Structure 1
Protein backbone atom coordinates (compact mmCIF):
# COMPACT_ATOMS: atom_id res chain seq x y z
CA UNK A 1 0.00 0.00 0.00
CA UNK A 2 1.42 3.41 -0.99
CA UNK A 3 0.48 6.81 0.36
CA UNK A 4 1.96 9.77 -1.53
CA UNK A 5 1.79 13.07 0.33
CA UNK A 6 0.74 15.89 -1.97
CA UNK A 7 2.74 18.85 -0.66
CA UNK A 8 5.97 20.14 -2.16
CA UNK A 9 9.06 21.79 -0.67
CA UNK A 10 8.99 25.06 -2.59
CA UNK A 11 12.58 25.89 -1.61
CA UNK A 12 13.86 22.90 -3.60
CA UNK A 13 10.94 22.24 -5.90
CA UNK A 14 10.97 18.59 -4.82
CA UNK A 15 8.00 16.62 -3.47
CA UNK A 16 8.33 16.77 0.30
CA UNK A 17 7.29 13.24 1.19
CA UNK A 18 6.72 9.76 -0.23
CA UNK A 19 5.44 7.00 2.08
CA UNK A 20 5.07 3.31 1.30
CA UNK A 21 3.77 0.68 3.73
CA UNK A 22 4.59 -2.99 3.09
CA UNK A 23 3.48 -6.10 4.97
CA UNK A 24 6.51 -8.38 4.94
CA UNK A 25 8.60 -10.52 7.32
CA UNK A 26 5.65 -10.91 9.66
CA UNK A 27 5.49 -7.18 10.41
CA UNK A 28 4.67 -3.82 8.84
CA UNK A 29 7.52 -1.92 7.19
CA UNK A 30 7.13 1.80 6.60
CA UNK A 31 9.35 3.56 4.04
CA UNK A 32 9.25 7.34 4.52
CA UNK A 33 11.29 9.27 1.93
CA UNK A 34 11.80 13.03 1.92
CA UNK A 35 13.14 15.61 -0.54
CA UNK A 36 13.41 13.44 -3.65
CA UNK A 37 11.56 13.30 -6.92
CA UNK A 38 8.65 10.95 -7.42
CA UNK A 39 10.46 8.78 -9.97
CA UNK A 40 13.51 8.27 -7.76
CA UNK A 41 11.33 7.62 -4.72
CA UNK A 42 9.33 5.00 -6.61
CA UNK A 43 12.47 3.27 -7.88
CA UNK A 44 14.18 3.32 -4.48
CA UNK A 45 11.05 2.03 -2.77
CA UNK A 46 10.74 -0.77 -5.33
CA UNK A 47 14.30 -1.89 -4.69
CA UNK A 48 13.75 -1.94 -0.93
CA UNK A 49 10.49 -3.89 -1.21
CA UNK A 50 12.07 -6.49 -3.49
CA UNK A 51 14.98 -6.91 -1.10
CA UNK A 52 12.75 -7.37 1.95
CA UNK A 53 10.69 -10.04 0.18
CA UNK A 54 13.90 -11.81 -0.84
CA UNK A 55 14.94 -11.80 2.82
CA UNK A 56 11.55 -13.17 3.85
CA UNK A 57 11.87 -16.02 1.33
CA UNK A 58 15.29 -16.96 2.73
CA UNK A 59 14.79 -16.44 6.47
CA UNK A 60 11.10 -16.86 7.31
CA UNK A 61 10.60 -19.45 10.04
CA UNK A 62 6.95 -19.71 8.94
CA UNK A 63 7.77 -20.86 5.41
CA UNK A 64 8.75 -24.55 5.28
CA UNK A 65 10.66 -24.00 2.02
CA UNK A 66 12.87 -21.16 3.32
CA UNK A 67 16.60 -21.81 3.67
CA UNK A 68 16.43 -21.22 7.43
CA UNK A 69 13.58 -23.70 7.90
CA UNK A 70 15.44 -26.31 5.87
CA UNK A 71 18.67 -25.74 7.82
CA UNK A 72 16.76 -25.98 11.09
CA UNK A 73 15.32 -29.35 10.05
CA UNK A 74 18.77 -30.58 9.04
CA UNK A 75 17.83 -30.83 5.35
CA UNK A 76 20.25 -28.16 4.12
CA UNK A 77 23.87 -27.90 5.31
CA UNK A 78 24.72 -24.25 6.11
CA UNK A 79 27.78 -24.44 3.84
CA UNK A 80 25.44 -25.04 0.89
CA UNK A 81 23.48 -21.80 1.38
CA UNK A 82 24.02 -18.43 -0.26
CA UNK A 83 26.27 -15.64 1.01
CA UNK A 84 23.53 -13.78 2.91
CA UNK A 85 22.44 -16.81 4.93
CA UNK A 86 26.03 -17.82 5.65
CA UNK A 87 26.88 -14.29 6.82
CA UNK A 88 23.84 -14.08 9.11
CA UNK A 89 24.58 -17.43 10.74
CA UNK A 90 28.22 -16.45 11.30
CA UNK A 91 27.19 -13.09 12.76
CA UNK A 92 24.69 -14.82 15.06
CA UNK A 93 27.48 -17.00 16.43
CA UNK A 94 29.67 -13.94 17.00
CA UNK A 95 26.82 -12.26 18.88
CA UNK A 96 26.19 -15.38 20.98
CA UNK A 97 29.78 -15.27 22.22
CA UNK A 98 29.73 -11.50 22.68
CA UNK A 99 26.56 -11.60 24.82
CA UNK A 100 27.61 -14.53 27.03
CA UNK A 101 25.09 -16.75 25.30
CA UNK A 102 22.04 -14.53 25.83
CA UNK A 103 21.65 -14.01 22.10
CA UNK A 104 21.06 -17.55 20.90
CA UNK A 105 19.23 -18.44 17.68
CA UNK A 106 18.48 -21.89 19.13
CA UNK A 107 17.02 -20.55 22.40
CA UNK A 108 13.49 -21.70 21.61
CA UNK A 109 14.63 -25.16 20.51
CA UNK A 110 14.48 -24.42 16.80
CA UNK A 111 16.59 -22.22 14.53
CA UNK A 112 15.30 -18.63 14.55
CA UNK A 113 17.68 -15.76 13.66
CA UNK A 114 14.81 -13.26 13.38
CA UNK A 115 16.21 -11.06 16.16
CA UNK A 116 19.14 -10.24 13.87
CA UNK A 117 17.53 -10.65 10.46
CA UNK A 118 14.88 -7.94 10.78
CA UNK A 119 17.32 -5.24 11.82
CA UNK A 120 20.04 -6.43 9.45
CA UNK A 121 17.71 -6.47 6.46
CA UNK A 122 16.32 -2.99 7.19
CA UNK A 123 19.86 -1.67 7.64
CA UNK A 124 20.76 -3.14 4.25
CA UNK A 125 17.63 -1.52 2.80
CA UNK A 126 18.87 1.83 4.11
CA UNK A 127 22.19 1.22 2.38
CA UNK A 128 20.29 0.54 -0.86
CA UNK A 129 18.54 3.91 -0.62
CA UNK A 130 21.79 5.76 0.09
CA UNK A 131 23.44 4.07 -2.90
CA UNK A 132 20.47 5.17 -5.02
CA UNK A 133 21.11 8.78 -4.05
CA UNK A 134 18.28 9.20 -1.52
CA UNK A 135 19.64 11.06 1.49
CA UNK A 136 16.64 11.82 3.72
CA UNK A 137 14.53 8.91 4.89
CA UNK A 138 13.27 6.84 7.79
CA UNK A 139 12.57 3.09 7.65
CA UNK A 140 10.47 1.46 10.37
CA UNK A 141 9.85 -2.26 10.94
CA UNK A 142 7.94 -3.11 14.09
CA UNK A 143 10.03 -1.68 16.92
CA UNK A 144 13.09 -1.12 14.72
CA UNK A 145 13.96 2.18 13.02
CA UNK A 146 16.85 3.44 10.90
CA UNK A 147 17.08 7.03 9.66
CA UNK A 148 19.30 9.15 7.44
CA UNK A 149 19.45 12.88 6.83
CA UNK A 150 16.59 15.04 8.05
CA UNK A 151 12.80 15.06 7.96
CA UNK A 152 12.58 18.67 6.76
CA UNK A 153 14.68 21.84 6.64
CA UNK A 154 17.60 20.22 8.42
CA UNK A 155 15.49 19.05 11.38
CA UNK A 156 16.39 15.62 12.84
CA UNK A 157 14.00 12.71 12.70
CA UNK A 158 11.91 12.20 15.84
CA UNK A 159 11.64 8.52 16.70
CA UNK A 160 9.03 7.64 19.29
CA UNK A 161 9.73 4.72 21.62
CA UNK A 162 6.55 2.79 22.35
CA UNK A 163 5.52 2.79 26.00
CA UNK A 164 5.73 -0.89 27.03
CA UNK A 165 2.49 -0.92 29.03
CA UNK A 166 0.38 1.78 27.34
CA UNK A 167 -0.19 1.42 23.59
CA UNK A 168 -1.38 5.01 23.40
CA UNK A 169 1.74 6.53 24.94
CA UNK A 170 5.46 6.90 24.32
CA UNK A 171 8.24 6.02 26.73
CA UNK A 172 10.35 8.73 25.13
CA UNK A 173 11.47 10.37 21.90
CA UNK A 174 14.89 10.12 20.25
CA UNK A 175 16.19 12.79 17.88
CA UNK A 176 18.06 10.95 15.16
CA UNK A 177 20.21 11.69 12.15
CA UNK A 178 21.93 8.57 10.84
CA UNK A 179 20.88 6.52 13.85
CA UNK A 180 19.44 3.03 14.29
CA UNK A 181 16.98 2.35 17.13
CA UNK A 182 15.76 -1.12 18.15
CA UNK A 183 13.34 -2.05 20.93
CA UNK A 184 12.66 -5.48 22.42
CA UNK A 185 9.70 -6.20 24.66
CA UNK A 186 6.50 -8.19 24.87
CA UNK A 187 4.12 -5.66 23.31
CA UNK A 188 4.98 -6.38 19.64
CA UNK A 189 5.11 -10.22 19.55
CA UNK A 190 4.15 -11.30 23.06
CA UNK A 191 6.48 -13.42 25.18
CA UNK A 192 8.73 -14.55 22.32
CA UNK A 193 12.12 -13.98 24.00
CA UNK A 194 13.64 -16.84 25.99
CA UNK A 195 16.58 -16.83 28.39
CA UNK A 196 18.81 -19.47 26.72
CA UNK A 197 20.34 -20.43 30.06
CA UNK A 198 17.07 -21.23 31.82
CA UNK A 199 14.79 -21.89 28.79
CA UNK A 200 12.23 -19.65 30.51
CA UNK A 201 10.81 -16.26 29.61
CA UNK A 202 12.79 -13.53 31.38
CA UNK A 203 11.17 -11.51 34.17
CA UNK A 204 11.75 -8.09 35.63
CA UNK A 205 11.68 -6.07 32.40
CA UNK A 206 9.11 -4.34 30.22
CA UNK A 207 11.38 -3.25 27.37
CA UNK A 208 14.93 -2.53 26.25
CA UNK A 209 15.77 0.04 23.56
CA UNK A 210 19.23 0.16 21.99
CA UNK A 211 20.55 2.95 19.73
CA UNK A 212 23.66 2.90 17.57
CA UNK A 213 25.11 2.90 14.07
CA UNK A 214 23.88 -0.52 12.88
CA UNK A 215 20.29 -1.71 13.24
CA UNK A 216 21.05 -5.43 13.07
CA UNK A 217 23.51 -5.20 15.95
CA UNK A 218 21.20 -2.90 17.94
CA UNK A 219 18.34 -5.37 17.46
CA UNK A 220 20.47 -8.29 18.63
CA UNK A 221 21.75 -6.35 21.66
CA UNK A 222 18.20 -5.36 22.64
CA UNK A 223 17.07 -8.99 22.41
CA UNK A 224 20.03 -10.25 24.43
CA UNK A 225 19.53 -7.58 27.09
CA UNK A 226 15.84 -8.41 27.44
CA UNK A 227 16.71 -12.09 27.85
CA UNK A 228 18.91 -11.13 30.81
CA UNK A 229 16.02 -9.75 32.85
CA UNK A 230 17.08 -7.46 35.70
CA UNK A 231 20.76 -7.78 34.72
CA UNK A 232 20.11 -5.89 31.48
CA UNK A 233 20.71 -2.32 32.70
CA UNK A 234 24.17 -3.12 34.07
CA UNK A 235 25.12 -5.10 30.95
CA UNK A 236 24.17 -2.30 28.56
CA UNK A 237 26.73 -0.05 30.27
CA UNK A 238 29.44 -2.23 28.70
CA UNK A 239 28.28 -1.74 25.10
CA UNK A 240 30.80 -0.09 22.79
CA UNK A 241 29.26 2.50 20.47
CA UNK A 242 25.67 1.72 21.49
CA UNK A 243 23.41 3.29 24.10
CA UNK A 244 20.38 1.82 25.84
CA UNK A 245 17.20 2.57 27.76
CA UNK A 246 15.90 -0.21 30.02
CA UNK A 247 12.41 -0.15 31.52
CA UNK A 248 11.87 -2.54 34.43
CA UNK A 249 8.56 -4.01 35.47
CA UNK A 250 8.49 -1.65 38.46
CA UNK A 251 8.57 1.16 35.83
CA UNK A 252 12.04 2.31 36.82
CA UNK A 253 13.91 3.56 33.75
CA UNK A 254 17.68 3.23 33.36
CA UNK A 255 19.61 5.12 30.67
CA UNK A 256 23.22 4.67 29.62
CA UNK A 257 25.09 8.03 29.77
CA UNK A 258 24.90 8.79 26.04
CA UNK A 259 21.34 7.69 25.30
CA UNK A 260 19.95 10.39 22.93
CA UNK A 261 16.62 11.00 24.67
CA UNK A 262 15.08 14.31 23.58
CA UNK A 263 14.23 16.87 26.22
CA UNK A 264 10.52 17.46 26.71
CA UNK A 265 10.92 20.97 25.37
CA UNK A 266 12.43 19.57 22.16
CA UNK A 267 9.72 17.01 21.45
CA UNK A 268 7.21 19.41 19.89
CA UNK A 269 7.17 19.66 16.05
Structure 2
Protein backbone atom coordinates (compact mmCIF):
# COMPACT_ATOMS: atom_id res chain seq x y z
CA UNK A 1 0.00 0.00 0.00
CA UNK A 2 3.06 2.23 -0.08
CA UNK A 3 2.93 2.98 3.67
CA UNK A 4 4.90 1.69 6.69
CA UNK A 5 3.05 -0.87 8.80
CA UNK A 6 3.91 -2.48 12.12
CA UNK A 7 2.42 -4.84 14.68
CA UNK A 8 3.11 -5.02 18.41
CA UNK A 9 1.77 -8.26 19.93
CA UNK A 10 2.09 -8.54 23.71
CA UNK A 11 0.38 -11.78 24.69
CA UNK A 12 1.69 -14.40 22.25
CA UNK A 13 4.86 -15.19 24.13
CA UNK A 14 5.77 -18.24 22.06
CA UNK A 15 8.01 -16.89 19.29
CA UNK A 16 6.70 -19.27 16.66
CA UNK A 17 3.04 -18.56 17.46
CA UNK A 18 3.65 -14.82 17.39
CA UNK A 19 5.50 -15.04 14.07
CA UNK A 20 2.71 -17.10 12.51
CA UNK A 21 0.08 -14.62 13.70
CA UNK A 22 1.96 -11.59 12.38
CA UNK A 23 2.76 -13.30 9.06
CA UNK A 24 -0.92 -14.17 8.60
CA UNK A 25 -1.96 -10.59 9.42
CA UNK A 26 0.47 -9.13 6.90
CA UNK A 27 -0.69 -11.62 4.30
CA UNK A 28 -4.15 -10.07 4.60
CA UNK A 29 -2.70 -6.60 4.02
CA UNK A 30 -0.65 -7.71 1.01
CA UNK A 31 -3.66 -9.49 -0.49
CA UNK A 32 -5.84 -6.39 -0.10
CA UNK A 33 -3.22 -4.28 -1.84
CA UNK A 34 -2.97 -6.72 -4.74
CA UNK A 35 -6.72 -7.17 -5.13
CA UNK A 36 -8.03 -3.65 -4.66
CA UNK A 37 -5.23 -1.33 -5.71
CA UNK A 38 -6.33 1.30 -8.26
CA UNK A 39 -2.72 1.37 -9.50
CA UNK A 40 -2.59 -2.27 -10.66
CA UNK A 41 -4.29 -2.93 -13.99
CA UNK A 42 -4.66 -6.63 -13.08
CA UNK A 43 -6.27 -5.96 -9.66
CA UNK A 44 -9.74 -7.26 -8.95
CA UNK A 45 -10.94 -3.66 -8.65
CA UNK A 46 -9.74 -2.76 -12.15
CA UNK A 47 -11.04 -6.00 -13.68
CA UNK A 48 -14.44 -5.40 -12.04
CA UNK A 49 -14.45 -1.84 -13.34
CA UNK A 50 -13.80 -3.11 -16.87
CA UNK A 51 -16.62 -5.64 -16.54
CA UNK A 52 -14.26 -8.61 -16.67
CA UNK A 53 -15.30 -10.16 -13.35
CA UNK A 54 -18.14 -10.13 -10.88
CA UNK A 55 -17.31 -8.57 -7.49
CA UNK A 56 -16.13 -10.99 -4.83
CA UNK A 57 -17.79 -10.98 -1.41
CA UNK A 58 -14.92 -8.81 -0.12
CA UNK A 59 -15.27 -6.28 -2.91
CA UNK A 60 -19.04 -6.20 -2.41
CA UNK A 61 -18.44 -5.41 1.26
CA UNK A 62 -16.00 -2.60 0.40
CA UNK A 63 -18.42 -1.14 -2.14
CA UNK A 64 -21.25 -1.29 0.41
CA UNK A 65 -19.15 0.54 3.00
CA UNK A 66 -18.54 3.22 0.38
CA UNK A 67 -22.22 3.45 -0.54
CA UNK A 68 -23.21 3.76 3.13
CA UNK A 69 -20.61 6.49 3.71
CA UNK A 70 -21.75 8.36 0.62
CA UNK A 71 -25.38 8.26 1.76
CA UNK A 72 -24.52 9.29 5.32
CA UNK A 73 -22.39 12.23 4.14
CA UNK A 74 -24.90 13.41 1.51
CA UNK A 75 -22.49 12.46 -1.24
CA UNK A 76 -19.34 14.05 0.16
CA UNK A 77 -17.64 10.64 0.39
CA UNK A 78 -17.14 8.94 -2.96
CA UNK A 79 -14.97 6.21 -4.44
CA UNK A 80 -15.50 7.55 -7.93
CA UNK A 81 -12.46 9.66 -8.66
CA UNK A 82 -12.74 12.95 -10.57
CA UNK A 83 -11.52 11.16 -13.72
CA UNK A 84 -14.43 8.71 -13.45
CA UNK A 85 -12.39 5.71 -12.32
CA UNK A 86 -12.99 3.75 -9.12
CA UNK A 87 -10.60 4.37 -6.25
CA UNK A 88 -11.44 2.40 -3.10
CA UNK A 89 -8.38 3.54 -1.12
CA UNK A 90 -10.65 5.61 1.13
CA UNK A 91 -12.12 2.34 2.40
CA UNK A 92 -9.54 -0.37 1.79
CA UNK A 93 -6.72 0.67 4.12
CA UNK A 94 -8.89 0.75 7.23
CA UNK A 95 -10.89 -2.27 6.10
CA UNK A 96 -7.76 -4.34 5.43
CA UNK A 97 -6.10 -3.34 8.70
CA UNK A 98 -9.26 -4.25 10.61
CA UNK A 99 -9.28 -7.62 8.80
CA UNK A 100 -5.63 -8.11 9.77
CA UNK A 101 -6.53 -7.36 13.38
CA UNK A 102 -9.20 -10.03 13.14
CA UNK A 103 -6.56 -12.52 12.03
CA UNK A 104 -4.46 -11.68 15.10
CA UNK A 105 -7.51 -12.39 17.25
CA UNK A 106 -8.06 -15.69 15.43
CA UNK A 107 -4.51 -16.66 16.39
CA UNK A 108 -5.33 -16.01 20.05
CA UNK A 109 -4.01 -12.48 20.57
CA UNK A 110 -6.06 -10.18 22.79
CA UNK A 111 -3.36 -7.54 23.40
CA UNK A 112 -1.94 -5.94 20.28
CA UNK A 113 -1.48 -2.71 18.37
CA UNK A 114 -1.46 -2.64 14.57
CA UNK A 115 -0.20 0.56 12.95
CA UNK A 116 -1.07 1.06 9.27
CA UNK A 117 0.71 4.21 8.19
CA UNK A 118 -0.33 6.12 11.30
CA UNK A 119 -3.84 4.68 11.48
CA UNK A 120 -4.01 2.41 14.49
CA UNK A 121 -6.22 -0.45 15.69
CA UNK A 122 -5.73 -1.86 19.19
CA UNK A 123 -6.91 -4.67 21.41
CA UNK A 124 -6.62 -4.84 25.17
CA UNK A 125 -3.72 -3.14 26.94
CA UNK A 126 0.05 -3.34 26.45
CA UNK A 127 0.29 -3.99 30.17
CA UNK A 128 -2.30 -4.07 32.96
CA UNK A 129 -3.72 -0.66 33.75
CA UNK A 130 -2.15 1.15 30.80
CA UNK A 131 -3.82 1.98 27.49
CA UNK A 132 -2.14 1.95 24.11
CA UNK A 133 -1.06 5.48 23.14
CA UNK A 134 -1.26 6.71 19.55
CA UNK A 135 0.29 10.01 18.60
CA UNK A 136 -1.43 12.36 16.13
CA UNK A 137 1.11 14.32 14.11
CA UNK A 138 1.05 18.10 13.99
CA UNK A 139 0.30 18.84 10.31
CA UNK A 140 2.62 21.86 10.45
CA UNK A 141 5.55 20.14 12.16
CA UNK A 142 6.31 16.46 11.40
CA UNK A 143 8.50 16.03 14.49
CA UNK A 144 5.77 17.15 16.92
CA UNK A 145 2.66 15.38 18.14
CA UNK A 146 -0.36 17.65 18.52
CA UNK A 147 -2.35 15.06 20.46
CA UNK A 148 -2.00 11.62 22.03
CA UNK A 149 -4.99 9.28 21.96
CA UNK A 150 -5.30 6.53 24.57
CA UNK A 151 -6.95 3.38 23.22
CA UNK A 152 -8.27 0.12 24.58
CA UNK A 153 -10.09 -2.01 21.99
CA UNK A 154 -10.50 0.82 19.52
CA UNK A 155 -9.02 2.57 16.53
CA UNK A 156 -7.87 5.99 15.40
CA UNK A 157 -7.39 7.31 11.86
CA UNK A 158 -6.18 10.60 10.44
CA UNK A 159 -6.84 11.91 6.94
CA UNK A 160 -4.93 14.95 5.71
CA UNK A 161 -3.52 16.89 2.79
CA UNK A 162 -0.26 18.01 4.41
CA UNK A 163 1.84 15.14 2.98
CA UNK A 164 0.22 14.07 -0.29
CA UNK A 165 -1.41 17.34 -1.24
CA UNK A 166 -4.98 17.57 -2.55
CA UNK A 167 -5.57 13.85 -3.12
CA UNK A 168 -9.05 13.78 -1.52
CA UNK A 169 -12.05 14.90 -3.55
CA UNK A 170 -15.55 16.02 -2.69
CA UNK A 171 -18.01 13.54 -4.18
CA UNK A 172 -20.64 16.26 -4.48
CA UNK A 173 -18.57 18.46 -6.76
CA UNK A 174 -15.75 16.25 -8.05
CA UNK A 175 -13.29 18.91 -6.93
CA UNK A 176 -10.11 17.97 -5.08
CA UNK A 177 -9.06 19.80 -1.97
CA UNK A 178 -10.53 19.98 1.50
CA UNK A 179 -11.77 22.55 3.98
CA UNK A 180 -9.55 21.07 6.69
CA UNK A 181 -5.83 20.42 6.71
CA UNK A 182 -6.35 17.19 8.66
CA UNK A 183 -9.09 15.25 10.42
CA UNK A 184 -8.73 12.64 13.14
CA UNK A 185 -11.42 10.21 14.29
CA UNK A 186 -11.47 7.64 17.10
CA UNK A 187 -13.98 4.79 16.68
CA UNK A 188 -14.63 1.20 17.67
CA UNK A 189 -12.97 -0.17 14.53
CA UNK A 190 -10.54 1.11 11.92
CA UNK A 191 -12.89 0.74 8.95
CA UNK A 192 -15.23 3.23 10.59
CA UNK A 193 -12.49 5.54 11.83
CA UNK A 194 -10.78 5.68 8.43
CA UNK A 195 -13.94 6.39 6.43
CA UNK A 196 -15.20 8.97 8.93
CA UNK A 197 -11.85 10.78 8.94
CA UNK A 198 -12.06 11.17 5.16
CA UNK A 199 -15.65 12.39 5.43
CA UNK A 200 -14.73 14.96 8.09
CA UNK A 201 -11.81 16.20 5.97
CA UNK A 202 -14.20 16.90 3.09
CA UNK A 203 -17.16 18.17 5.15
CA UNK A 204 -15.04 20.65 7.07
CA UNK A 205 -16.04 22.33 10.32
CA UNK A 206 -19.53 20.82 10.40
CA UNK A 207 -18.05 17.38 9.75
CA UNK A 208 -16.65 17.06 13.26
CA UNK A 209 -20.06 17.18 14.94
CA UNK A 210 -21.44 15.02 12.11
CA UNK A 211 -18.88 12.29 12.88
CA UNK A 212 -20.19 11.84 16.42
CA UNK A 213 -23.60 10.94 15.01
CA UNK A 214 -22.04 8.29 12.76
CA UNK A 215 -19.87 6.21 15.07
CA UNK A 216 -17.04 8.45 16.27
CA UNK A 217 -15.93 8.22 19.89
CA UNK A 218 -13.84 11.35 19.41
CA UNK A 219 -13.06 13.60 16.46
CA UNK A 220 -11.24 16.81 15.68
CA UNK A 221 -9.97 18.68 12.64
CA UNK A 222 -7.26 21.22 11.93
CA UNK A 223 -8.01 24.30 9.85
CA UNK A 224 -5.42 25.69 7.42
CA UNK A 225 -4.75 28.56 9.85
CA UNK A 226 -3.89 26.11 12.63
CA UNK A 227 -7.07 26.39 14.67
CA UNK A 228 -8.60 23.12 15.86
CA UNK A 229 -12.23 22.14 15.38
CA UNK A 230 -13.69 20.01 18.18
CA UNK A 231 -17.21 18.90 19.04
CA UNK A 232 -17.61 22.16 20.94
CA UNK A 233 -16.62 24.31 17.96
CA UNK A 234 -13.49 26.06 16.75
CA UNK A 235 -10.70 26.43 19.31
CA UNK A 236 -7.97 29.05 19.15
CA UNK A 237 -5.13 26.63 19.79
CA UNK A 238 -4.61 22.86 19.41
CA UNK A 239 -6.33 20.95 22.20
CA UNK A 240 -4.80 17.53 23.05
CA UNK A 241 -7.14 14.56 23.45
CA UNK A 242 -7.36 11.87 26.11
- Structure 1 Cα separation of the partners of residues 95 and 119 of structure 2: 10
- Structure 1 Cα separation of the partners of residues 217 and 130 of structure 2: 22
TM-score after normalising by structure 2: 0.89
TM-score after normalising by structure 1: 0.81
Could you tell me whether the CA contact under 8 Å between 2:169 and 2:178 is conserved in 1? no
**Which residue in 2 is equivalent to 1:89?**
63
- Structure 2 Cα separation of the partners of residues 54 and 155 of structure 1: 33
**Which residue in 1 is equivalent to 2:153?**
178
**Which residue in 2 is equivalent to 1:39?**
16
- Structure 2 Cα separation of the partners of residues 26 and 163 of structure 1: 21
Relative distance call for 1:89 and 1:161 in structure 2 (3 A) is same
Q: 2:241 is matched with which residue: 243, 250, 261?
A: 261
Could you tell me whether the CA contact under 8 Å between 2:167 and 2:177 is conserved in 1? no
Q: 2:36 is matched with which residue: 59, 63, 70?
A: 59
Relative contact order (alpha carbons < 8 A, sep ≥ 6): 1 or 2 greater?
2
Q: 1:128 is matched with which residue: 92, 98, 103?
A: 103
- Structure 2 Cα separation of the partners of residues 102 and 114 of structure 1: 15
Matched, 1:30 2:6: yes
* Alpha-carbon offset, residue 210 of structure 1: 0.6
* Alpha-carbon offset, residue 92 of structure 1: 1.2
CA deviation digits over 1:82-102, x for unaligned, max 9?
211111112211211111111
Q: 1:117 is matched with which residue: 88, 92, 108?
A: 92
**Which residue in 2 is equivalent to 1:243?**
218
Matched, 1:98 2:78: no
Unpaired stretches in structure 1, ≥5 consecutive residues: 1-24, 263-269
Runs (4+) off by over 6 Å: none
Could you tell me whether the CA contact under 8 Å between 2:98 and 2:191 is conserved in 1? yes
- Structure 2 Cα separation of the partners of residues 234 and 82 of structure 1: 35
Matches within 5 A, 1:206-217: 206-217=181-192
* Alpha-carbon offset, residue 178 of structure 1: 0.6
Could you tell me whether the CA contact under 8 Å between 1:67 and 1:76 is conserved in 2? no
Larger Rg: 1
Unpaired stretches in structure 2, ≥5 consecutive residues: 233-238
Could you tell me whether the CA contact under 8 Å between 1:137 and 1:147 is conserved in 2? yes
CA deviation digits over 1:179-222, x for unaligned, max 9?
11010001343321011222223343111101111211111111
Matched, 1:70 2:50: no
Could you tell me whether the CA contact under 8 Å between 2:133 and 2:151 is conserved in 1? yes
